[in-house]
Amino acid sequence: MKFFVDTAETKDIHELAATGLLDGVTTNPTLIAKSGRKILDVIAEICAIVPGPVSAEVAATDYENILREAKVLRRIATNVTIKVPLTPDGLRACKYLSSDGAMVNVTLCFSAAQALLAAKAGATFISPFVGRLDDVGQDGMELISDIVTIYRNYEALHTQVLVASVRSPMHVIHAAKIGAHVATLPPAVLRSLYAHPLTEKGLTTFLADWQKTGQTIA
């Protein structure tokens, strides 16, 4: 499974990229707004940090303006992934952009039917929002399972399932067991994957026992 980080804060991206475990980055208008910076500057900086896909979302909702904004975003770097909404105009733009060689992330997916349309439109990634489905009493992981199953039935579909709106490590584990290709995680959730109290307890014991030996490794 690939790990993307869902943020526009370049300090977090620098720190996580240094681990060698980060495969890409996703952003959205809300995250850009929180950064307090201009989108073109933020995306350019992120693309210089991470060689993998960097999702930059258009703000337009009609076909012509989606393409106009996508043209601007594509000029930033070769690893920019154009993020479009799962609407008729967004899917039409996805078809055009993917045919033109662009990576496209179709976002705000809440049904398997929507995911199938995105794949037929040539999306590089489909972003189902599991946490938001959980919030309204539906099972977000059931949607991931349905999409993965459908995509596997058709060799001609190459869209990767990018699990979004991830709230906890368990979302990540469940998605990995189902076979999702990518999970995009807030920095705090990505860092929490390292943590386990028994790991910390064991390390403390090992270090204490090593200190008693009086040895050094040199």
Catalytic center residues: 83
- Provide the residue count of the chain: 218
Helix 112-120 to helix 140-152 angle, to the nearest 10 degrees?
A: 40
CA dist 105 and 126 (Å) reads 6
Helix (H, G, I), strand (E, B) or coil at 80: strand
Q: Cβ(183)–Cβ(163) under 8 Å? A: yes
**Other CB atoms closer than 10 Å to residue 104's CB: what's the count?**
28
**Other CB atoms closer than 10 Å to residue 112's CB: what's the count?**
19
Among 181, 42, 98, which residue's Cα sits nearest to residue 172?
Answer: 181
Range 93-99, long-range pairs (CB < 8 A, 24+ positions)? 93/58, 93/63, 93/66, 93/67, 94/118, 94/121, 94/122, 94/123, 95/121, 95/122, 96/67, 97/67, 97/70, 98/122, 98/123, 98/124
Task: Tokens for 49, please give them.
Answer: 């940090």
